[in-house]
Amino acid sequence: MQANVQNNADLPPELCAKPLALVGVSGLDTLNNAVHKSIWETFSNNRRADRAPVLFKLIGNAHEFPVIKPKRNSYDWYIPKGILKRNWMNKHLFEIPAVIVIFYDLDWNDSLWNEKMIECASRVQSLRAALEGRNTRIAVVLIQNTLPLPPGEDVLASDRAISLCASCELNASSLFVLPHGDHLQGYAVRLESAFYEFAQNYYHTEIKNVRSHKEHLNKTSHQYLFVRHQFKMGFLYELKQDIHTAHKLMFTLNLPRDAISQFKAHIDRFKNRMGFQELSFEHYSWLSKQFSVFGDIFDEAVKLGLPAVQTQHPGIYYQQAAQYAILRKKSCQELCSTLLKVQTLWNFMGKGRGDLENYLQNLQTHNWNQTGSKRYTSVQDYVLLSLEILGKYSKLHIDHKKKIYENLQRILKRQIPFGDQKLTPDVLQHAVIQWQPKLQTEPINLSLDLGNIVTCIETKARFVQTHYEVDQNVTVEVYIKCTSPSPLKFSKISVMINTPSYNSEFAVDDSAFDENSLVFHTDQVKKFVIEFMADPSDVNKEIQIGAINLLMGNSKECSLDLKFNPLNNLSRTSPELLHFKYCPVKIDFDNIPPLANTLIIPRHSKLKIGLEYAIPALLGEWFEIKIYINNEESHCIKDMKVEVNLSKDETINLSKYGVEELQFLIQSIVAEFSTTSSGIPEKLPLLLKLPNSLKKQEKCSGSFYLRAHKVIENILEVKISYTLDRDKPVISIKTETIIVPIVKPFDINTKFLSTLMEEISQFYVGEEIGVMPTLRCLSPWPIIIESTSIEFSTPFKSLENNVISRLANMKLENKEVGVELFLAVCEQSSDSNVTVGQYIVKWRRENGLSTTSQLTIIGYPSEWIPLELKMCVPAHGLVRTPLLINYHLYNRSHQLLQLDVAMEASEAFMYAGYKQFSVSVLPDSVKTIQYNLYPLIAGSVALPKLILTIPENNSEVPTLHQDQLKSLVDRCLPTHLYVMPQVKGSPNIPNVVKPRKISAIK
């Protein structure tokens, strides 16, 4: 179904058409509205191969869609009448759209917004009702006169888009905006890509629906339905353009051997099933048609680049088709013994004997265009047929061809062609009467499309190069070959050049021609050269040779504009045999390689660009890049524009976003850009503030700044566009690529310490802790820490009245570390990790701009316990010198707190105090326990260990567990004391517990 069958007279159009996704277009008044007409032509015309495979269809307000069939719950009693209903393919190709797009004129700031929004919603609801029961996707395109602002800036547009989607009951992805202006073609291409994606989803859903029907079938009684559903799914896959999953389209999949094997198996299965001998001619006719259609499909694949070999090429199948047509003729002759019976039979078949002769001749010469008699009264048909008969593939006698040639020349002079003398006078007189008004009323100007017809004129056109700079002459070589037995003369030769946005015609310069330059004799080949300058707007675009135009005659009498498609004028000889083909002329026409496309590239710029920057850039800093421009062009330049953009973003899937959305994402996620050192972010592309014109050898310079938010390799593109100030201004573009790797300036880790300067992993409410950020320099460049600060978040509070940065004005080299400590307390409990606050570092690289980095410090869960424990002990002790230690127990609760206290013995100390006792701490009060210690040895000596336990069978202790109590003792009480050796003399004895005096007992 992918091939365009040439001889499609006996095949329905749905079998000959290439399946394309059908998109309905509603709301365009192409007759009365010029804007609507231009939009429709943009979508429907110039459907090149690189456009989305979509067929657009205008749908009026009174359009009626095919009635949807009621769904069948069971196939038990259903008897199909055949494999497929004859209108099913036509219905899905041309009648049931996968997507319907409603175009509506509406700007965001329209004064009648509410009324128009209601009208637009009414149109949507009307179409939705007409399509009820179908899965057709509905989209709305607003035709606007003003260009849209970038996303996020037009608040009115955002609000009204939301209200319009709600009113129309549309998904936001189904609403589009089409600004009508200079870039209509580009907007249209983007829109049709979105429509094509919607259509693919529609056909995918339809395939799932067909596949679900298989669950209700059984192979015994529903064989027709199995075949029907397989065919439907294959055809829907073709509409979806999923060729690999569709039918066995072997040529399309570049599997010619499999295609030939499949066709041979098909023929072998049916060629011996002739049926009644009296109808054998029908069987031969069917076989002939099978081979001819397969030859057409094979030939189409060869034209699209499939290599054919000597043992397998389309001619074999055309020859076999001709052989079966001969068998068909013999079968008829054997069946009918008299001429009358033969004529009656041919009339019954709908063909005359002369038609059969022509049919056989056309098969043998690969010519599939129907021929006819000289009684044509359509001038256009007569000219087409004449050009075809004059060609080398027509086997008519040379005398007959000369008569055709003379009649063609008479038409060019607006004279009635001579009739066949074998015709009766009545027929000739009738033909003259019909020809007279067509030739004598006014000049005849005919435009004939010869793209798919083999005539006596063969053409080829190609670009000389695969690409041209915009200021170079684009050269097109046009080759024309004449196979007419008599000379042909043309008056003009031109080519049509197609670009994505417009079409232009360029003619051969005839100023140096003589009277014989455009006269062609039999088998003569001539080459003509056409040169033109590409349009500056076509830079980075591909242009194509759309058509070759040959003009015969003159506009005063009769002119024939013959249009040839350069892609269809392929040789009729197999590609492998072209090199062995005898070429009597100097120009080897058959072996001229085609080149129908070329790329227009920017001219080579002579601007000298210098870039100055010190990589790597540091994460978060405003990284300066200096640019120097020197005009070394031979002319002054003007309209200079220097733009900076990110050319690659490995963190974002670009296909999901539009241009405006992508710019916003790049700036908010990857990096920010600015043209000033003040660090005000600007949108991409970044336009540098430089002079817009430079004289020869004049220089200029500027800077821009990049602030990266991710540690990735940023690839920047600096694009300088300008116009050469000369007679014919030429736009030039110079690009430079900058690779900027990003590294972290430093790494910050935070530790939390107890009052003993030991690391902790649990917070207690009301407990003093130390927050210690550690800043390790990772930068290859020295960095200056200008200041640091910490902002505590609830429930944390600073315990310092005046927080001073200990790292201010410090210079850190690579791998150097800076540390500072902040005292704080947590005032609330939390089961999850507590946010301590924000650590803020203001820094810069040497000779760089100041940058502020901020880190959120996350702590640990915070727990409330009723007891707070502190120990007061001297900084050091002396051997054999008493010292006093105090244990303070603070009860935070509103209940009595009872604990058992014990002091372990120690070989390093003797002590005075209770060894074991019970203590009661009143609510919201402090209990102090004192001990006199007497050090016995010097050094870092382990202190006697205080043990706190909860009394057994004591239920009055508020929310305090033994494990909590042990953890509190371990983190709050120091374990060692540094004891110095005994001093000589009488040392000062520190405060100790004074013994109480006991009165004598009388």
Average pLDDT, the chain: 82
How far apart CA 419 and CA 436 sit, in angstroms, is 13
Q: pLDDT-derived band of residue 75, with 50, 70 and 90 as boundaries?
A: low
How far apart CA 768 and CA 173 sit, in angstroms, is 56
Q: What local confidence, expressed as pLDDT, does residue 594 receive? A: 83
Which range (184-198, 333-347, 727-741, 982-996) has the least confidence? 333-347
Q: Is the pLDDT of residue 680 over 50?
A: yes
Q: Is the pLDDT of residue 676 over 80?
A: yes
Q: Is the pLDDT of residue 5 over 50?
A: no
Q: Is the pLDDT of residue 362 over 80?
A: no
- Residue count (the chain): 1002
How far apart CA 190 and CA 660 sit, in angstroms, is 13
Give CA separation, 754 vs 10, 43, 804, 944, in Å: 96, 74, 20, 21
Domain endpoint, select from 580, 603, 626: 603
pLDDT digits (tens, 9 = 90+) for 924-948: 899 999 999 999 999 999 899 888 8
950 and 811 share one domain? no
* 19 within a domain of the structure (yes/no): yes
Task: Please list, in sequence order, all residues whose beta carbon lies within 8 angstroms of the beta carbon of residue 492, skipping any fewer than 6 positions away.
Answer: 507, 508, 510, 549, 550, 551
CB 862 within 8 A of CB 764: yes
Q: What local confidence, expressed as pLDDT, does residue 868 receive? A: 84
Alpha helices in 530-572 (DSSP H): none
Q: Is the pLDDT of residue 956 over 80?
A: no
613 and 598 share one domain? no
42 and 113 share one domain? yes
Burial class (CB in 10 A: 0-12, 13-18, 19+), 854: exposed
* CA angle, 36 then 40 then 44, to 5°: 175
Give mean pLDDT, residues 598-605. Answer: 86
559 and 667 share one domain? no
Q: What local confidence, expressed as pLDDT, does residue 989 receive? A: 59
Q: Is the pLDDT of residue 958 over 80?
A: no
Q: What local confidence, expressed as pLDDT, does residue 585 receive? A: 46
CATH of the domain at 787: 2.60.40.10
- Render 119-156 in DSSP notation, one character per residue: HHHHHHHHHHHHTTTS--EEEEEEEESSPPPPTTT-HH
384 and 501 share one domain? yes
* CA angle, 293 then 297 then 303, to 5°: 140
Give mean pLDDT, residues 582-594. Answer: 70
Which domain range does residue 803 map to? Answer: 746-863
Q: Is the pLDDT of residue 550 over 90?
A: yes
* 369 within a domain of the structure (yes/no): no
Q: Which residue has the tokens 């759209």?
A: 97
Give mean pLDDT, residues 377-388. Answer: 81
Which range (3-12, 290-299, 368-377, 405-414) has the least confidence? 368-377
512 and 528 share one domain? yes
Q: What local confidence, expressed as pLDDT, does residue 863 receive? A: 86
181 and 297 share one domain? no
Which of the two residues, 402 and 453, has the higher pLDDT score? 402
849 and 879 share one domain? no
Q: What local confidence, expressed as pLDDT, does residue 302 receive? A: 82
Q: What local confidence, expressed as pLDDT, does residue 648 receive? A: 54
718 and 585 share one domain? no
* 229 within a domain of the structure (yes/no): no
852 and 878 share one domain? no
Domain endpoint, select from 684, 718, 737: 737
Which range (76-85, 601-610, 947-956) has the least confidence? 76-85
Give mean pLDDT, residues 371-380. Answer: 50
Which of the two residues, 308 and 931, has the higher pLDDT score? 931
Give CA separation, 914 vs 436, 904, 930, in Å: 141, 11, 9
124 and 175 share one domain? yes
Which of the two residues, 528 and 730, has the higher pLDDT score? 528
Q: Which of 10-19, 94-103, 380-389, 451-460 is most confident?
A: 94-103
Burial class (CB in 10 A: 0-12, 13-18, 19+), 984: exposed
Q: Is the pLDDT of residue 760 over 90?
A: no
pLDDT digits (tens, 9 = 90+) for 883-916: 999 999 898 888 888 888 999 888 889 988 888 8
Q: What local confidence, expressed as pLDDT, does residue 705 receive? A: 92
* 2 within a domain of the structure (yes/no): no
How far apart CA 155 and CA 503 sit, in angstroms, is 39
Alpha carbon distance, N-terminus to C-terminus of the chain: 132
Q: What local confidence, expressed as pLDDT, does residue 985 receive? A: 64
- SS3 category, 596: coil
598 and 632 share one domain? no
* 800 within a domain of the structure (yes/no): yes
Give mean pLDDT, residues 312-333. Answer: 86
Q: What local confidence, expressed as pLDDT, does residue 841 receive? A: 94
Give CA separation, 161 vs 105, 113, 125, 172, 987, in Å: 14, 11, 17, 8, 90
pLDDT digits (tens, 9 = 90+) for 772-811: 999 999 999 899 999 999 999 988 999 888 888 889 999 9
Q: pLDDT-derived band of residue 499, with 50, 70 and 90 as boundaries?
A: confident
Give mean pLDDT, residues 305-327. Answer: 82
Q: pLDDT exceeding 70 applies to what percent of the chain? A: 86
Q: Is the pLDDT of residue 124 over 90?
A: yes
* 50 within a domain of the structure (yes/no): yes
* 357 within a domain of the structure (yes/no): no
Q: What local confidence, expressed as pLDDT, does residue 77 receive? A: 61
Q: Which of 349-363, 546-560, 574-588 is most confident?
A: 546-560
- 558 pairs with which residues across the strands? 444
* Number of domains within the chain: 6
Whole-model pTM: value is 0.45
Q: What local confidence, expressed as pLDDT, does residue 654 receive? A: 42
How far apart CA 343 and CA 336 sit, in angstroms, is 9
* CA angle, 987 then 989 then 990, to 5°: 135
Q: pLDDT exceeding 90 applies to what percent of the chain? A: 28
Domain endpoint, select from 332, 353, 368: 332
* 227 within a domain of the structure (yes/no): no
Q: What local confidence, expressed as pLDDT, does residue 347 receive? A: 37
